[in-house]
Structure 1
Amino acid sequence: MEEKTAHESPSNGGERSPKNHRGGMASWVRDLVISVAVSAFIIIFLYQPVRVEGTSMLPVLEDQDRLFVNKLAYRVGEIHRGDVVVFLYPRDRQKSYIKRVIALPGDDLKIDHGRVYVNGTPLTEKYVPPRFEDSRSLPEMIVPEHEYFVMGDHRSISSDSRDFGPVDRDLIYGKAAFVYWPMEQVGVVH
């Protein structure tokens, strides 16, 4: 049985005929079109690159970090407490915000001098260093159905659900997945 190779040598002594050259160009164009189509599919339906503007998510995300947002995560899965999400700002849907989910629909939420309580239990927040804590309080509330209470990790400067209220599920379009720039920040977003 003869084994075929993926790339065979030209039979005319190594010279390319004009016909072979055209075939190579057509193959190159085909590969380019497929690459563009796959890239467009990924960006439209799966992952979208975004740039962080601001410092409200320090120390996890820094100003000007670039990351990929997983747009499929919440089409097929649930939003969980602790997820870092990207959403359309409720007061100006031309802007996107990135924050951490603190409370889910139906949760009982209270903030007492910066300490967050969900369903009566203090939330353990290892992602908020002491220097970024805030002493604001928020009266007890039940997070409405189909809405999520979000906060920045840099609590003392973040504009978040404490200011603009819980975020409707329909405004959340992705989960922060992976920082790809700058190189020293490369890694999965936690």
Structure 2
Amino acid sequence: MENNATQNKDSENKSSLLKQIRDYGISILIAITVALLCNAFVFARADVDGESMLPTLHDKDVVFVEKITNLTKHFKRGQIIIFDRKNAEKDILVKRIIGIEGDQIQIKEGKVYLNGEALKEDYLADGTFTAPSQFLANNKTYTVEKNHVFVLGDNRENSVDSRILGTINVNDIKGHTVIRLYPFNSVRLFK
């Protein structure tokens, strides 16, 4: 009789162990699925490569972008976005939205004008001069077309942005920066 009891106990232990393994496996599978869905549709990590957003973002900064705005296509002036440059190298760039659809942009005497008013750009380094370029010549006014945004880097002397690329289609935007998490001593939230 003791032998039967021991066998039943062993059988119950094995069954319990298998149930625990199955439960852990299901939990891990759910966690991985949620993480993948969040990365695809909610948040993603992006590493800053280069100095085009100085002094706001530095080379090797780690930021997180939210992707929900991509679904609504409701981007705002001042947001820092990442977008597909649409070149052979498949570069992803990080820039600040200056103008949205219908806005009039002009570069005059080293300043950016938005809808006829000089843009107040507190995020730029003192003495920053915004030079015109091939897409937006000096004193030329450009109206941002439907479903596009006009972007500039904060480091205007070292930035490939809408002055060169033209406006950015909102469908090419991968997300808008919400937080810098690294370096840890420079954690910062963005609007």
Compute the TM-score of the two structures, normalised by the length of structure 2.
Answer: 0.84
Contact between 1:90 and 1:167, CA under 8 Å: does it hold in 2?
Answer: no
Task: Output the CA distance in 2 between the equivalents of 1:135 and 1:43.
Answer: 35
Show the counterpart of 2:69.
Answer: 73
Post-superposition shift, 1:24? 1.6
**Structure 2 CA distance, aligned partners of 1:134 and 1:85?**
22
Letter matched to residue 159 of structure 2: S
2:107 is aligned with 1:111:
yes
Structure 1 residue 135: deviation in Å?
4.4
1:136 corresponds to: 131
Matched, 1:146 2:119: no
Aligned equivalents of 2:170 and 2:50: distance in 1?
A: 23
Residue type matched to 2:29 in 1?
A: V
- Give the alignment partner of residue 17 of structure 2, picking from 12, 21, 28: 21
1:135/1:70 Cα in 2 relative to 1: closer, same or farther (>3 Å)?
Answer: closer
Tell me the SS of whatever aligns to 1:21. Answer: helix
Range that drifts further, 32-41 or 73-82: 73-82
What is the correspondence of 1:14-93 to structure 2 with a 5 Å cutoff?
17-76=13-72, 78-92=74-88
User: Would the alpha carbon gap of residues 135 and 37 (structure 1) be closer, same or farther in structure 2, given more than 3 Å must change?
Assistant: closer
Specify the code of the residue in structure 1 equivalent to 2:102.
G
Letter matched to residue 143 of structure 2: I
Which protein has the bigger helix share? Answer: 2
- Larger mean Cα displacement after TM superposition, 170-179 or 69-78: 69-78
Q: Is the 8 A contact 2:73 2:170 kept in 1?
A: no
Indicate the SS of the match to 1:125.
Answer: coil
Q: Is the 1:60–1:189 Cα contact (8 Å) retained in structure 2? A: no
* CA distance 1:123–1:135, change in 2 (3 Å): closer
Consecutive unaligned residues of structure 2, counting only runs of 5 or more, are 1-11, 133-137
Q: Deviating runs (4+, > 3 A) in structure 1? A: 90-93
- Percent identity of the aligned residues? 27
- Taking structure 1 as the reference length, the TM-score comes to 0.85
> Does structure 1 conserve the Cα–Cα contact (< 8 Å) formed by 2:99 and 2:150?
yes
Root-mean-square deviation over aligned CA pairs: 1.7
In 1: Cα distance, 2:143 partner to 2:88 partner: 24
